[in-house]
A = this chain, B = another copy of it.
Amino acid sequence: MTTAVPRTAVIVGCGVTGTSVALALTAGGVEVTLVDRDPEAVTEAAALGSGTPWTAAGPPADLVVVATPPSEVVDALHTAQARGLGHVYTDTAGTKEIVSAEAELRGCDLKGYVPGHPLAGPDAPGRAGADATRFAGRPWVLCPYETTPAWALETVAALVELCGAVRLDMTPDAHDRAVAAVLHLPYVVAAVLAANLAGAGPELLRLAGDELSSAVAAAGADPVLGSDLLAHNAGPVADAVDRTVAGLRAVARTLHAGDDTVPVELGLLLELGARGHRALAEEAPRPGTAGRDLPGDR
């Protein structure tokens, strides 16, 4: 642990992410105070033992974590800095290019702000999934500006370490393209597949097995948070969807043609898919274990 470990922290936004960060920091001995525009959210998060309600009386905190939805991050950051809530700031939004550019445009103090994104499992709505170990062993991307001073970066790195996560530094653009591929595209595909089931009769659905349940699993996420996230990463997600459309159209062309070579051509795709499936299984956490019981030293 570095000497930049925060002694005090303010969590702005008491959803599942903010509350989980608050629980991890509290467990790590940090004195945590909580802010949310919904007073009920603060009360509930405090009741879980994640901290105490923030009051204007205290001194600025060593660290402020903005854990609102992406579209509210810059407003919340700007307000928090204007009120002097702390010395170092970070956020947890799932997209980084727009957030970090807007923070610059809005005139936020960039010396003390390090954009970040902890990659936990799919969010349960509200605080139901809040857990101090939510980020344990999972990647936590930091996107420092070129001008970010070491002292700010070290404080946010200490936050990542306190949460048991694995720090990865990336540019906002590289981050957004990566999460488009591994998070946002699977979500869009699951939603499109699941949308076709909304009107399906029970005689169809009862034939479904693991294949379909797995394929649409991501579609169970909160549509409001989801659309906010996807809209903030529109370009990279659109490109990823385009690539998937091209792949599916190639399969459809092969199937419609119905030549004798169909099994061979499909076999090549399916073999490549099986290879990608193996590559992911070897590199990424298995389903159901993400953010739970992975060793912290991956």
Contacts and interface: CB of A to CB of B under 8 A. Distances in A.
A171 interface: no
A150 interface: no
Contact of A200 (B279, B286, B287): B279
Nearest to A234: B255
A45 B9 CA distance: 63
Interface in A121-179: 121-122, 138-139, 141, 168, 178-179
A221 B279 contact: no
Interface stretch (A13-21, A58-66, A108-116, A269-277): A269-277
A188 B262 CA distance: 14
Contact of A287 (B141, B191, B213, B242): B213
A287 B248 contact: no
Contact of A178 (B207, B219, B252): B207
Q: How large is the interface on A (under 10, 10 to 19, 20 to 34, 35 or more residues)?
A: 35 or more
A284 interface: yes
A273 B216 contact: yes
A84 interface: no
A295 interface: no
A117 B145 CA distance: 58
Contacts of A212: 182-183, 186, 280, 284
A223 B283 contact: no
A101 interface: no
Interface string A91-115: 0000000000000000000000000
Interface string A169-208: 0000000001101110111111111111110101111111
Contact of A241 (B222, B243, B252, B270): B252
Interface stretch (A26-34, A36-44, A225-233): A225-233
A281 B215 CA distance: 12
Nearest to A182: B208
A79 interface: no
B121 A224 contact: no
A4 interface: no
5 contacts: A179-B207, A195-B273, A221-B274, A223-B273, A227-B267
Smallest CB-CB A-B distances: 6 pairs:
A191-B273, A197-B276, A194-B276, A238-B255, A223-B270, A205-B283
Given A182-B211, A238-B255, 16 more contacts: A183-B207, A187-B211, A188-B248, A190-B214, A194-B280, A195-B269, A197-B277, A198-B273, A210-B217, A211-B217, A213-B290, A220-B277, A226-B267, A227-B270, A244-B248, A248-B248
Interface of A: 71, 119-122, 138-139, 141, 168, 178-179, 181-183, 185-198, 200, 202-224, 226-228, 230-231, 234-235, 237-238, 241-245, 247-249, 251-252, 255-256, 258, 262-264, 266-267, 269-281, 283-288, 290-291, 298
